Chains A and B, each alone.
Chain A
Amino acid sequence: MKNDGEPMSVALEKLTEIAETIYGQLDSGDIPKMSLPLRTKGNIRFDNKTNVWKYGKATGVRSAKKAVGAYMLLRTMHMLEFIGDMISDSKSSTLREMYYISEGWGKAKFNSQDESDKLAEDLEIITKCLREDFKLRPEEDGARVIGNLTLEETDRKGKKKRMNCRDDVGDSGYSVPYNVESDKIKLISHDADFIIAIETGGMFDRLVENGFDEDFRSVLVHLKGQPARSTRRFIKRLNEELKLPVVTFTDGDPWSFRIHASVAYGAIKTAHISEYLATPTAEFIGITASDILNYDLPTDKLSDVDIKALEAELTDPRFRDPFWKTEIETMLENKKKAEQQALAKYGLDYVTDTYLPEKLTQAGII
C-alpha cells in the first residue's frame, strides 16, 4: 500500500494511466473497458502472510458495451479530472461533497453516494493508492475512546496536543479523527491490559458509567455500528504498536457477526486494504448465540432478512471455522437474536460484574 515518493504525484500518475488506457482503447477502435478484482465474498482469500482476508484473483470487466459500464467509465473520467484539479489546487473534499460535485456532470451524475464511494474505492484498488491520496476523505464520524491511553494529536493548525483519553476528556471520550496515521496521531503511553470494542453507544456508556475501564484496566472503543476505516485502523495501531489484545463486544445478531468480521478478518468492501485495517487477533466475546441460551436473554425473532444474512454467512469464507459454524447454526435453529443491552435484565451492573468478567476469563484475557 505504501508508495515510494510523494503520494500525491504517484496518485496523479496512476490516475492518468487509467485515462491513457481508455484513450488508447478508443483510438484503436476498441470498446473501452477496465478490469477489476471482483469485490464479492466469492473472491476473498486468506492471506497467510498477514492473516487477513484479501481479494483473490477473479476479475470482472467494466465495459462500455453495457449501459452501466459505459456510465461508470464516464464517471471515472469525470472523477479523474476532479481529483486532478484538487491535487493541483491543494484542495480536498469529503466523499459526500464528491457526490454532490457530480450534480454538475450531466448524464454522468451519480445516482447515490454509495455509487460514488464505491467508485473511489475502485480507484484505490486500481492505483493501489488510498483515497486520502486522491484528496477524498470521509466525514468525521468520531468513534469514541475512553481509557488510560495518552496520545499526541497534531491539530489543524499544526500544534501538537497531548492528552490522556481518561483524564483529559469528557464523558463522551476522545473522538477519533478520520486520519489516524502517525503523522497525525502519536501513541505516547498507556496503562491498560486490553481493548474492548463495543458496538452500541448505550453499552459503551454503561461501561463508562460502571468504571469498567478503570476496574478492568481496559480501553473502551465505541464502534458505532459498522466501524469506519479510521476506527479499525486506530484499533489496529493500538494492537500492533502497543501490543494490546482486542476483544469485540456486540449485539447477538447476524449483522454484529459481520461487524466483528470487519474488525478481525477484513471487510469484503475494503479487502484491498485489509492488511492495513484488520486486527487478526481480535476476539469475539459476545453476545454469542450460545450466550442467548446460557444467559437466558430477552430476544427478538429473526426476520426474513436476518435469516438470509445468516445463510449468506454460512457460505462466507471468513466464517468458515468451527466456532462460527456452530454459532450461526445455533442462531438459525433458535431463530432468536438479542441486543447487548438485554443483559440489563439482571440489573445494570450485571454486564460489568458478571457477564464480561466471565467471558473475558473464558477468552483468557483476564
Chain B
Amino acid sequence: MATIAEELARKQKEISVSEFFERNRQILGFDSTVKALIVAIKEAVDNSLDACEEASILPDVSVTISKLDQTEFRVSVRDNGPGIVRAQMPNVFGRLLYGSRFHAIRQSRGQQGIGISAVVMYSQITTGKATHIRSKIAESDVSNDIDLTIDTKKNRPVVVREDHLIWEEGGTRVDHGTLIEFNLGARYVTGKQSVMEYLRSTAVVNPHATIRYTDPEGKVYNFDRATQTMPPKAVEVKPHPYGLEIGTLINMLAYTQEKRLSLFLRNEFSRISDRVAREICEKAMVSPDRRPKDISLEQAKAILAAIAQTKIMAPQTDCLSPIGEALIKRGLKNVLGTLRPEFYAQPVTRPPAVNGGNPYQVEAGIVYGGELPPDQPVTIMRYANRVPLLYQQGACATTQVVGAIDWRRYGLEQRGGTGIPYGPAVILVHVLSTKLPFTSESKEAIAPIPNIMEEIDLALRTCARNLKSHLNKKETKSRAAVKFDIVTEIIPKIAEKTSKILERPVPDISRTITKIMNVVFIEDSVEYDQKKKLTKATIRVRNYTARKQELKVHALVPREYIDSGSIYPEPAEIADDGKIMWDIKKMQSLQTVECTFAMKGLERDDYTENEVYVSDINPATVIGAETLPGDWGIKTFEFEETEEEEADYDEEEGELSEE
C-alpha cells in the first residue's frame, strides 16, 4: 500500500495557477446553490472511486448530507481507498491545480487537479468554515485528522487544527481510507437533477462499488455492489502527439527532465520513434539538440504544425477501461431492478476508436418496459468516464445522437421521427477516453464531434435492433396467445356443448386446431442452475399446421460459454461465431421438437433470452422466431395463397344504436 500512496504523492506535483487559467477559463460547476451541493459531492465521490480503483480496492463510499438551516448543509464523504500521506493532505485539498493526474494520459474521472480544492474553497467562501479531513494509510497506525482552510491570495493551504487518532467506525478500526467533511451554502432538491440521481446513476456504471447515501432526512439508501471484480485497470500511457495543445506542449517542455528536443519527443510521447522525432524537428526547423526549456513559443508552434504534417501511428487503446457488456447489464439490473423492466437489450461496447490523438470508446444499453413510465420522454443516462452527466443535456453529443435516430423503427414513439423518443425506456450511453472533449471545463456535456457521434449512433442502433426484435417477438407471441386460447379453451368447449345439445359423442377437434393455428410455433426458455452455474436453454418447435414441416432452427449463442456436449438433438452445424443450427426434418402435424443446450460460466441474468432464427421455411408460417437475416442466405418462398376473406361479421362497423 505504501508504494501506491507514495507513488501518488510523488506525482502530486505542483501545477502553476497560471497554467490552470490558461486551460480553464472559469471556475467550475458552482453556478447555483442547488448545483453546488451536487457538484461538491460529485467531486469527492469521483476522487474516492478513482483512488480505490488505482489501488485495486473494491470501493465502499458513504455520503451523508445533514441540513443545518435553510441555506447551510454539511456533507461528509468517506471511502475505503488507500488514504493520503500526511505530507500531501494540505496540498491535495487546499491548493488548486494540485493533482496526480494532470500529466497522466489515462482514463480516470479526475483530470484537472482542481476538483476537491474548489469544493474546499466554495465551502470556505459560503460558510467561512474550515474543511475537516481524516485520512489513514495502511502502513500507519493512526489517522491524520486536520481542519484546513485556503489562503486564497497565495493559493496555499492553512492547517488550522491537527490531530492523530485511532480511527474507528461502528466499533471496528479503519485500516485505510479518507473522510472529508465540509459545510456549504446550498439548496437541497429531489428529482431529475439531484444528489440521489447522481448517486444512483453512478451506481449503474460502477457495479463494483457499494455506495451508501444518507439524505438530509436521515433516510439511508444502499446501492450494493453487483460484482466483486474490479474493472480492468486502465494503463497509463504517454500522450499521443496528435491532438496536442500548445499550452500542454509548453508545460511539458518546461517540466521535462530530458535535455534534448529529439529525446523529449521520443520519450515523453507515445508512437514517436527516433526517425519520426528527427522528421518533426526538421519540418519545424528546430535543432533536435535544443534544450526543451529554451524552446520559444514560436518554435513550439512550429513543432505543433510539424507534428500535424507527420505520419504517426495511431495511439494505443489499451489505456481505456470500458465497463463491458455483461457488467453494464448487471449494473442496470442492480439499480433499475425494482422497476421490474421487461427487457434489457444486450448492451454494446464498441471497439476503441481514435479522435485527434486520443483513443475513445462508446458503450450503450437500453432498458425497456416494466414499471418505467410509459408516456414520458425516455430517460437518457449519459456518462463520461464512468461519471454521470446531469446538466446541459441538450448540448451533449449523446442527446443529439439520440434525437437524430428515428426510434419509431425500433418500437418507441417519437413525434415526427426526431427528438427525444417517448416510452418506457432508459437509454444509457457511456463515452470513455483518456481525454474527453467536453463542451466546457465543467465537464457537463460531451462536445458533438462527428467521429464520436458516429460511434454513439452505431452503438445505439445495435442496441435498438435488439430491442425491436424483442418487441416483435412479444407481439407475435401475444397474437399466438390469442390463438392458443381459441384452440385450447374455446374450441373444446364448443365441441363439448354442441355434442351435449345434440346428445352425440364429442368430435375430434385436432384437424380444426391445426387449421386455426396454421403455424409452426417456436417458444424459447432459459433456466439457470445456481448450483452448477449452468444456463440451460430450450427451444420448443411445435408444428401446428395440418401438414408435415421441415425447417432449420438457428440459435445465436456466446461461443465461449457453450457446453458442446449438451447440445440436443445433434446439431447440423456449430459456426465459429457461435451459431448453432438444427435441421428439423419431417415434423408431423401436431408434433413437438425440443432443441436444448447449456452454457457454462455465466452468471444468472447474463443470458435470459435466446436469439432464435429460422430458415428454409415460409416465414409466414412461423411464430416466435424471425427469419435468419439475409446475409446468412435464405431460400425465397412463394407465399401460399390465402383464402379469400369474407367480411368479419363481428368487426364490421355496425350502426346499431337504434332499437
A residues with a Cβ closer than 8 A to B are: 16, 19-20, 22-23, 25-27, 29-32, 34-36, 38-41, 58-74, 77-78, 80-81, 84, 107-108, 118, 226-229, 232, 258-259, 261-262, 267-270, 312, 316
Contacts and interface: CB of A to CB of B under 8 A. Distances in A.
A32 B494 contact: yes
Nearest to A270: B659
Interface in B628-657: 646-657
A36 B649 contact: yes
Q: Counting chain B CB atoms within 10 Å of each CB, which of A40, A74, A108 scores highest? A: A74
A268 B655 contact: yes
Interface string B489-515: 111011101111110100111111001
Contacts, number: 152
B482 interface: yes
B486 interface: yes
Contact of B651 (A32, A68, A73, A81): A68
A251 B132 CA distance: 84
Interface of B: 482, 485-486, 489-491, 493-495, 497-502, 504, 507-512, 515-516, 646-659
Given A41-B655, A70-B490, A16 B512 contact: no
Given A64-B512, A232-B659, 4 more contacts: A23-B498, A60-B650, A63-B648, A267-B659
B511 A69 contact: no
Contact of B650 (A62, A107, A258, A262): A62
A40 B508 CA distance: 36
A269 B658 contact: yes
Contacts of A73: 490, 494
Given A20-B502, A23-B507, A107 B515 contact: no
Q: Which 4 A-B pairs have the closest CB atoms?
A: A29-B511, A60-B649, A77-B497, A267-B658
A229 B659 contact: yes
B659 A107 contact: no
A78 B516 CA distance: 22
Contact of B647 (A20, A30, A41, A58): A58
B490 A26 contact: no
A30 B512 CA distance: 5
A257 B185 CA distance: 73
Q: Counting chain B CB atoms within 10 Å of each CB, which of A27, A58, A258 scores highest? A: A27
Nearest to A40: B654
B658 A74 contact: no
B502 A16 contact: yes
B495 A60 contact: no
A88 B284 CA distance: 112
20 contacts: A16-B501, A19-B498, A22-B494, A27-B508, A29-B510, A30-B512, A40-B655, A59-B646, A60-B652, A62-B649, A62-B650, A64-B512, A64-B516, A66-B648, A67-B482, A67-B485, A70-B490, A81-B497, A268-B656, A269-B654
Given A16-B501, A81-B501, A71 B490 contact: yes
A270 B515 CA distance: 34
Contact of B653 (A26, A40, A58, A74): A40
A296 B37 CA distance: 70
A70 B72 CA distance: 69
Contacts of A38: 647, 649, 652, 654
Contact of A61 (B482, B502, B646): B646
Nearest to A259: B658
B656 to A, nearest CB: 4
A61 B649 contact: yes
Contacts of B516: 31, 64-65
B490 A268 contact: no
Contact of B494 (A68, A77, A261): A77
B501 A39 contact: no
Q: Counting chain B CB atoms within 10 Å of each CB, which of A32, A58, A68 scores highest? A: A32
Contacts of A32: 491, 494, 512
B650 A77 contact: no
B490 A107 contact: yes
